[in-house]
Structure 1
C-alpha cells in the first residue's frame, strides 16, 4: 500500500509540473460528454484543460470546493476560491440553467443555491461520503503522511469502511471515512474505525 501511494504521489507531482498558473472558475461550468475536465471548470487551465477530474453519471455532479482546489494544485493550477464556495455543481450542457448555481456573490443568488443542497442533507443523514464522490485518502505510517485522490465506490458514514478507486493507478484502496470527502488508509484507519465504534 505504501509503495502504491508513494508512486501515485510521484505521478501527481510529475504531472503537475507540466502546468502552472492561476485559474478562474467558470460562472456556469458544464460538460457535454460525461467527462468533466479542468477545461470545463476553469478559464485559463491551459495545458491541463484536458485532465479529467470526474465523471458525471446523472444530470449533474457536485464537487467539494476543497477537493477541487487540491486536484487543481496537483496539476499545477491555482484556484483561490475568492467567493468562499463550499461546493461546485457541473451540469450537462443541455440541462444547464442560464445563470450559475455555483457562484454566489449576492444575497439573491444565495437564495437560488439553498434549495439545491438542503434536501440532500436531510436525505443523507450522517453520511459523509457518497458513491462516486471524489475523496482525498491520507496514508499515515511511521510519521509519514501521503495523500491521493480517488473516487468512492460506496456510501459511507463517519468511521465506516469505504473502497476508493485511485484515479491515477486504477487500483482500489481500502480506507475509512473521516469526514466529507476525506478518508484514511493504513494503520491509522483501524484506529479511526475503532474510535468511532467506541463513541457509539
Structure 2
C-alpha cells in the first residue's frame, strides 16, 4: 500500500496541475520573444509559464488543433467554440488593438495573416496635387492671342487643372465661361493657340 501511495503521489507531481477550461485571448501577444500558454489563454493558471514557442520574427502562427493538444497535455481545456483554424501571436508592440490575430475556419487560403493591400490612391492623389497649377476658385489671367495681338481677362477657375488641361474660367464681370487651357500658376490661354499649348504641355509631362 505504501508503494502504491508513493507511485500515485509521484504521478501527481509529474502531471500538470489541472486548471480546467480556458478562454482564448482576443488579441494574443508576447513581449519577450517567448510565447507561453499564458500569452494565449486566459485562466491558464499554473500552466501559464509553459513555453509554446520562441518568436524569431514579428509573429508566430499556431494551428488551432496544435494549441488544443498542447493545452490538453498541460491540463487545460480549450473547446475552440468558434471553430478557429489558426491563431497568430504577435509581438506586443506590433499587434492590432483587438481581434487581429485570430483566423476563423471560414478564412480562405493558406496564409494565417493577410497583409493589407498596398495603398495606391494616396500617392496618386499626391502626384495630382503636385502637378496642379490651377485650383478651383483661383483667380486666373486668361490670354487670347491672335495675329500678334494679345488680350487678357481675369476670371475664376471652376475646377482644378494641371498644365495642358482644359479649365473653364468664369468671367465674373460678364458671367460668361471661357474655355481655356492651363499653362502655369494662375495663367491660362484660349483661342487658336490653346490647342497647340495643350499638345505641347501634355507631351512634356509624359
Q: TM-score, normalised by structure 1?
A: 0.46
Larger radius of gyration: 2
Q: TM-score, normalised by structure 2?
A: 0.44
Which structure exhibits the higher relative contact order, with contacts defined as CA atoms closer than 8 Å and separated by 6 or more residues?
1
